[in-house]
A and B are shown apart, each in its own frame.
Chain A
Amino acid sequence: MKRIVISIAVLAAPLLAAENATFLIRNATVHPVSAPKMENASVLVVGGKIADVGAKLAVKGKVRVIEGKGLHVYPGMIDSGSPIGLSEISSVRETVDTGELGDFNPQLRAIVAVNPESEAIPVTRANGITAVMATPGAIGGRGSGGGIISGQMSLMNLNGWTWEEMEIRPGAALQMTWPVIVSGGGRMGSARMGARQTTFAEAKRNQEQRVQKLREFFEEARRYQAAKAAGAAGFQPDLKFEAMLPVLAGKLPVMVFAAREREIREAVAWAEKERVKLVLAGVRRPGQMTAEIAKKKIPVILGSTFATPLEEDDPYDEPFALPGLLVKAGVKVAFASFGTQFARNLPYEASQAVPFGLPYDEALKSVTLNAAEIWGVADRYGSVEKGKVADLIVTDGDPLEIQTQIKFMYIRGEQVDLESKHTRLYKKYLARP
């Protein structure tokens, strides 16, 4: 209990606005994302917040000026899911802190295991990503524990001396994986190796049992909620159920991994029944559920676009075309890298889908404003608008295009170093005689 109180206190504390978090970018092309681009425009940042955006801004007093001629201002990009800071070298378990034991861990908070000194932070930042939804659960790969409810995803800035300083919303969503029916012994081969084949009926039973466990967990959480509200005698606090209260109240979204139509169908039905605020993730073959997702206004976190088709007969461009198809159907999408190594390629996850049908504006939104909206911080993040936090990037072009260079980055108005281990080694070895 004590811990939770503390964290709320931290959240309530005012943003640490550094002295130098006041400046003016002028003569730049500003891409607010929420509105059409503005040529020869200025952005005024005061105390870490965007004070004004416009063609001619009245500035009182002495303000540091950044000449933006030929440059572009965009909101900093948001990666809607990455174990950055929690997973350093994916193949070395000792450096990986995602994927806790147990099926139900809503009380776990990703942010507390984020190493602010992770090499991945400056590397990722250098490509224009200013905020990340840190994931507590393992996503594929090694040691993929993490059960059904992996814990709380934390929205954080990629800048800070400590994880506390990085926090935006330490509990921004619950990460969940919808149980999958895994039948067969894999294709061919494995049966020969003596691995027992799981029949579909058997696999289905296992899956249903897991879903049943999930239902029971929610039921227990509700009983806990009721008992707490009633001030029942002998009420014992329980961290797991305490963490479930905002979920039950529909305040905390639940991001559920569900790739194929069946899982999506089940997850959507379940969320409706449990009155849970649902966000879908890792969607790959939504099939008939596409229209349903759109109708129910369930946002989808896509990632990674850089994948091969799931089924042999799927079109070669299936992963590239999916974002466009979803958007056309009316689904709000955001992108996630769901990894550390390639987190810096987040913008390209989005732009890869553009030639295959995703409108460019949506691509840009999917790594900025859409993410902010889905994670409930659109009042402060996701666009270049008056009153929002000054998470900005200044570029020499379209940030979704590979060749574009990020010239400056501001997180909460503070200029961030774009150097990393990579640039240091580059300079060192380029200079090797």
Chain B
Amino acid sequence: MRQIIGRLVVWAGCGLALGQAPVRAEAPGLLAIQDARIVTVSGGVIEKGTVVVRDGIIAEVGAAAAVPKGAWVVDGKGLTVYPGLIDGLSTWGIPQAAAAAPAAAGRGGGAPVGGPGGSPAAAPRSWGPQDRPGTTSWVKAADLVKLEDRRIETARGAGFTTAVTFPKQGLVAGHGAVVNLGGETSGRMIVDPGAGLYLSMTPSGYTGYPSSPMGILAYFRQLWIDAGYYRLAKAMYAQNPANVKRPDYDRALEGVLEAKRVLLPAASPVALERILKLASDLKAPFVVYGVVQGYAMADRLKQAGTPVVLNVKWPTRERDADPEREESLRTLEIRDKAPASPAALAAAGVKFAVSSDGIDAPKDVIRALKKSIDLGLKKEDALKALTLNAAEIYGLAGKLGSIDKGKIANLVVTDGDLFDDKTKVKMVFVDGVKFLPPPEAPQTGPGGVSGRPSMAAGEEN
């Protein structure tokens, strides 16, 4: 039981280093947001109501909810309260990932997380699955998350209170964690250290086998076979230690066995078929990420019953393209239709969250969805993608994703509709702790990019 007496001021570490005013966070034990418009996501909109938060948990919500005695009160007139937004697939909170981000051309590109020492020349040569190439299944995002990641503040400023953060280097990168974007300690931030095991099709951190997508698929299969065998061998040994050989401890396989679910990438319908086949062989619950051509995958995803984390960095024309280079109909169509993916997925009944992957300024995640709303996505579905869907996908619907009694008090308070470009985030609550958005124009993404959706070259995935 946490005891918070009076006001606790949390100093966000990186603020000092940047020479900016430190972030002020207030954590009253009991508070109420009164007379606000409340978008619960799970149960519709309360045009005028109150949200009561006690010790970081939503204690009450409703039009008639009473403000308890002794509560700090926020006057919600003219304000809208949303559940805190969730980045469904992120690296926020892992400072090394931020440092590596500008260098990496694609997901998983660039040097290994380990730091500058990991030059490709030093990468080990893999001669087969037994070398466990690019496999760090023992790595946990929960162990890497640091309060100091400066992106946390920016994300919060855009209304994000939670990120499902993954290590991304290598083929079997490690376990993601559901991370609240605020807390006194890094440990406090972790909502669930076992969000799932992140698998990538981009080789890094080794040379040699496997170098091709088909090699990678084969490797995943052998790894899971080996893990299954390892589990069996351990069980048999436990039953009969006298006659069964004691299996060698293998941290790579332990990491695989620990996974509640795996995250598999599929940008296109063709990639999806491959991934579905793989998933059926791995016999593990899975989430498809990196989806770009969602508009063409919706039916198949629905049929497969798999949830999705959608990439919302919509592919754009290369800024510096050869004006005489003819682009293919296929490329043009992908660029034209990609932003219509959320609507297509929603219409097909596919559960999808969205990812900040490839997007520098967190606010641009919301802007990207605004584009999809213009193309027919219902606002409620857009909001769900940013909140409840993510919570459900990662099995945390009881804790996150909507404004319901008993859930974690992750809230965003705005002065208008979330998807209106003019709307400002007035305050954010993470675990019931209030954060004020950073002052005007601090939108310093890793590359110092301004708030516009960046249109970097070659994002066709």
Interface residues of A (CB under 8 A from B): 181, 183-185, 188, 191-192, 194, 197, 199-201, 203, 260-262, 311-313
Contacts and interface: CB of A to CB of B under 8 A. Distances in A.
Contacts of A200: 318, 320-322
Contacts of B105: 191-192
Nearest to A188: B460
26 contacts: A183-B322, A184-B318, A184-B458, A188-B458, A191-B458, A192-B106, A192-B109, A192-B202, A194-B120, A197-B457, A199-B320, A199-B457, A200-B318, A200-B321, A200-B322, A201-B320, A203-B322, A260-B324, A261-B324, A262-B324, A311-B328, A312-B328, A312-B329, A312-B330, A313-B328, A313-B329
A402 to B, nearest CB: 34
B326 interface: yes
A312 B120 CA distance: 34
Contacts of B328: 311-313
Interface residues of B, number: 18
Contacts of A197: 457-458
Contacts of A191: 105-106, 458
A188 B328 CA distance: 14
A185 B320 CA distance: 13
Contacts of B320: 183, 199-201
A185 B109 CA distance: 15
Contacts of B460: 188
Contacts of A311: 326, 328
A404 B214 CA distance: 45
Interface in B412-461: 457-458, 460
A181 B322 contact: yes
Interface string B321-344: 110111011100000000000000
Contacts of A184: 318, 322, 458
Contacts of B329: 312-313
Given A191-B105, A192-B202, A312-B329, 7 more contacts: A181-B322, A183-B325, A184-B318, A184-B458, A194-B120, A313-B328, A313-B329
A338 to B, nearest CB: 24
Nearest to B458: A191
- B contact face: mostly helix, strand, loop, or mixed: loop
A192 B120 CA distance: 13
Nearest to B326: A311
A192 B108 CA distance: 9
Interface of B: 105-106, 109, 120, 202, 318, 320-322, 324-326, 328-330, 457-458, 460
Contacts of A313: 326, 328-329
B444 to A, nearest CB: 25
A36 B429 CA distance: 92
A194 B111 CA distance: 10
Contacts of A203: 322
Contacts of B109: 192
B458 to A, nearest CB: 6
A361 to B, nearest CB: 34
A316 B446 CA distance: 46
A267 B94 CA distance: 54
A199 B322 CA distance: 9
Of the listed residues B109, B318, B324, B330, the one surrounded by the most CB atoms of chain A closer than 10 A to its CB is: B324
A260 B326 CA distance: 11
A185 to B, nearest CB: 8
A192 to B, nearest CB: 6
Of the listed residues A181, A183, A192, A260, the one surrounded by the most CB atoms of chain B closer than 10 A to its CB is: A192
Contacts of B324: 260-262
A199 to B, nearest CB: 4
Q: Which 8 A-B pairs have the closest CB atoms?
A: A312-B328, A199-B320, A200-B320, A200-B322, A191-B105, A262-B324, A313-B329, A313-B328
A312 B328 CA distance: 6
A181 B326 CA distance: 14
B331 to A, nearest CB: 8
A81 to B, nearest CB: 26
Nearest to B322: A200
Contacts of B106: 191-192
A312 B321 CA distance: 17
Contacts of A192: 105-106, 109, 202
A374 B106 CA distance: 51
A188 B271 CA distance: 15
Nearest to A198: B320
A182 to B, nearest CB: 10
B448 to A, nearest CB: 20
A313 B332 CA distance: 12
A269 B109 CA distance: 44
A185 B326 CA distance: 16
Contacts of B326: 311, 313
Contacts of A201: 320
Nearest to B108: A192
A289 to B, nearest CB: 12
A200 B320 CA distance: 6
Of the listed residues A181, A185, A200, A262, the one surrounded by the most CB atoms of chain B closer than 10 A to its CB is: A200
Nearest to B103: A194
B192 to A, nearest CB: 32
B109 to A, nearest CB: 6
Nearest to A314: B326
A260 B325 CA distance: 10
Nearest to B460: A188
A181 B109 CA distance: 27
A84 to B, nearest CB: 34
